[in-house]
Chain A
Amino acid sequence: MHPPLLYQPAPARINATIKVMGALAMVFFVVALPARHAIFLLPVAAILLISAIIGRVRLRFILGRLLIAEPFILGVALLSLFQPGGWRVMLLIIARCTLCVATMIVLAGTCTISELVRVLKSVRIPSLLITTMLLMHRYLFVLGEEAHRMRRARASRTFRISRRFEWQNLATVIGQLFIRSADRADRIYAAMCARGWR
């Protein structure tokens, strides 16, 4: 599995709290902005563009991610046409969504998980939630690789497969993945205890 471009080393180290809070403020502003003041979305877009340039987030990274989100946004936005004055609602939704998603992409492109965790800790998010998120992020690609290996092993042993058995096989891969995750969690717990956790 080739994980998509997740991080980019941010050349200018700006305080993580400022980055996260700034992005959140921008998203909240865009969402809460009354429709009649929609013109204020333009300066927000300008600020976003400037911060993307300062953070040296590659344009391909932003556009690639936007392309994933956009079909869904457009699909739902089209449904909003079914009401009086629907086209204005639709345009506004598209503008808002795109701006917010782009903001989060720029944040994701300039912020690492450890920075994010530091911010979450400083706003008193319960430690169990943070531990869960950290472990999740650490083992995300390990488990992704494991699933990929299991599927490759299955594919190398099967010539053709009917849909029913393909579903059963994929489900077995997922089931095995959970069993291996649970076993790995036991080993991780032992390792954590050995290093003096709690």
Chain B
Amino acid sequence: MHIPDGFLDTKAAATVGALSAAGLGVALRQARLHLPPRRVPLLGLSAAFVFAAQMINFPVAGGTSGHLIGGVLTAVLLGPSAAVIVISSVLIVQCFLFADGGVTALGANIFNMAIIGGVLGWTVYRLLSRLANGLTGQIWAATFASWLSTVVASIVCAGELAASGTIPWKVAFPAMTAVHMLIGIGEAIITALVLVAVSASRPDLLAPPAGATRSYFSFTAYGVLIALGLALFVSPFASTAPDGLDKTAESLGFDDKAAVIVPSPMPEYKMPLITSANLSTSVAGAVGTVFVFGLAWIFARILVPRTEPVDPLAAARLETKQP
């Protein structure tokens, strides 16, 4: 999902870039206030870990393979703000040293992967992990959260591409969503398997980090940023109203593609087709979401052993870790 340069036009890139810069700023502020110095190297090592983990290919049917994205996994292991910093660092290094993902699209990539994956995914994880006890609840929540954040990120990505006039929404939305509903299943399974593997030998790493105090500032700031992103890039297309971004851009006079897309409202006969396509995709999406939610629970029940095995070594380690 790394958007290269050239897919986003100036207004979309600048808008989402501002949102991402603000989100990264909030994350860095949280880290400065709450992150103990002991955990600073862990951020760098986690970034290297995410990069290395992304290189491990999981075989999928037909000779294809997929790999981990890692937003929710990082957020579950490190907390949301640390995850935003870690994934953003990965994206920046990938952009500058590996030419993977564009410079002007860096804001969009950070928003889609670090902020949606790290913050939205983590929020869903925290809310759902209370639904069932112990590890089962955590795995269930992490499974569903990684699937959901992958799909939401793809929808926002489709919105960004559509707002740029690169791909029309009626193509981008169904295509991106359908593909990422499948990719998200892979991401969810890998995330769950990795978390189970980590908890089997080091359950202390899965416990929420001690420094993560509840902060209304970050909660509000992240919430506003994500809501703004969805409002700017998704809702203009979801409703039949004209695209707000395009309208502003046109009135400011710096949108060269306006001549093709904006001036007159869409021809009437096209409307029902588009809305029905949107509607059917949305309905399918809703059904799929409920389905995955149930599937994630079954998956968690299968993966997590009923009685928690007491590992004396891990317990001893846990004992020494606590100051």
Contacts and interface: CB of A to CB of B under 8 A. Distances in A.
Nearest to B202: A179
B171 A79 contact: yes
A135 interface: yes
A105 B55 CA distance: 20
A133 B47 contact: yes
Interface string B193-226: 1111110111001000000000000000000000
B96 to A, nearest CB: 6
B311 interface: no
Interface string A16-44: 00000000100110111011100000000
A69 B4 contact: yes
A131 B56 contact: no
Contacts of A184: 45
B97 A137 contact: yes
Interface residues of B, number: 76
B93 A136 contact: yes
A163 to B, nearest CB: 6
Given A79-B171, A97-B7, A139 B45 contact: yes
Given A80-B167, A97-B7, A131-B44, A69 B189 contact: no
A6 B99 CA distance: 11
Contacts of A34: 256
Residue from A80, A178, A184 whose CB has the most chain B CB atoms within 10 Å: A178
Interface stretch (B30-38, B122-130, B141-149, B284-292): B30-38
B59 interface: yes
Contacts of A132: 40, 43-44, 47, 85-86, 89
Interface stretch (B100-108, B233-241, B244-252): B100-108
Contacts of A83: 165, 167-168, 171, 260
Interface stretch (B8-16, B132-140, B293-301): B8-16
A45 interface: no
B41 A188 contact: yes
Interface in A109-148: 111, 113, 116, 126, 128-129, 131-140, 142-144, 146-147
A33 to B, nearest CB: 9
Contact of B7 (A76, A99, A137, A147): A76
Contact of A171 (B8, B47, B85, B197): B197
B4 A175 contact: no
Nearest to B57: A170
B60 to A, nearest CB: 9
Given A139-B44, A143-B52, A185-B45, A167 B193 contact: yes
A159 interface: no
Contact of B5 (A30, A82, A135): A30
B49 to A, nearest CB: 4
Nearest to B36: A189
B273 interface: no
Contacts of A93: 6-7, 166
12 contacts: A80-B166, A89-B165, A89-B257, A128-B31, A136-B44, A136-B89, A137-B48, A144-B52, A175-B198, A177-B53, A178-B77, A182-B205
